[in-house]
Amino acid sequence: MKLQTLAAACAALATVTFAGSAMAGDAITAKLQTPVAAKTKLIAGGAVFNCEGDTCVAAAPSSRTFATATCKDLAKNVGVVEAFGGVRKQLDGDKLGQCNAAALPATQVADR
pLDDT tens by residue, 17-46: 344 444 456 899 999 999 999 999 999 999
User: Which pLDDT value is given to residue 6?
Assistant: 43
Going by C-alpha positions, the residue among 60, 54, 55 that lies closest to residue 21 is: 60
Q: How far apart are CA 69 and CA 49, in angstroms?
A: 14
* Sheet with 55-58, side-by-side order of all strands: 40-44, 47-52, 55-58, 28-32, 81-85
User: Which pLDDT value is given to residue 4?
Assistant: 55
Contacting residues for 91 by C-beta, under 8 A, at least 6 apart: 68, 71, 83, 84, 85, 99
Stretches in the chain below the pLDDT threshold 70: 1-25, 106-112
Q: Is the pTM of this model over 0.85?
A: no
User: Which pLDDT value is given to residue 1?
Assistant: 52
Q: How far apart are CA 88 and CA 45, in angstroms?
A: 18
Q: What is the three-class DSSP state of 76?
A: helix
Interior angle at CA 42, CA 40 and CA 45, nearest 5:
155
